[in-house]
Amino acid sequence: MNLTNQIHATKEQLKALNNYPADTPVVMVNILKFKEKSGNGDESGKAAYARYSKNVFPLVAKNGGKLVWKGEVMNIVIGDSNNAPDTILLVEYPSVQAFFNMATSEEYAAVANDRVIALEYGGLFATKA
């Protein structure tokens, strides 16, 4: 897995979310690799992402979402140990529409830059149980 330069969804990727079953919970799996220094250069990527998390999770909750699980990657058992992610997050929303409502809000736009400056890689996978 190439864990670099993938922070934003493409139009095609966002459009494909329209195929997700309506009114079905979605768990967004976040695979995160932090920059050593944030895009601002005055803090670590991990610190910038911590600020983003503090500001975004009230918006997630406002849209019916919740953090299901967060873990720091300690070892790679199978896979590329030279290019490992730092953190994995599972965030559940009641529907893809709830996710879109959060991700396209003005409130989200106000905090989203911290995610951009924090991450070298920010994979996001929509999953269904």
Residue 20 lies in a domain: yes
pLDDT tens across the length of the chain (129 residues): 666 667 888 889 888 998 999 999 999 999 999 999 998 889 999 999 999 999 999 999 999 999 999 999 999 999 888 889 999 999 999 999 999 999 999 999 999 999 999 999 999 999 997
**For position 16, which CATH number holds?**
3.30.70.100
Residue 5 lies in a domain: no
Residue 111 lies in a domain: yes
pTM over 0.75: yes
Domain region containing 118: 11-127
Q: Which residues contact 110 (CB under 8 A, 6 or more apart)?
A: none
Residue 3 lies in a domain: no
How many domains are contained in the chain? 1
Residue 2 lies in a domain: no
Q: Which residues contact 105 (CB under 8 A, 6 or more apart)?
A: 59
Residue 21 lies in a domain: yes
Cβ atoms of 69 and 89 closer than 8 Å: yes
Residue 82 lies in a domain: yes
Quote the CA–CA distance of 36 and 3 in Å, as a whole number. 14
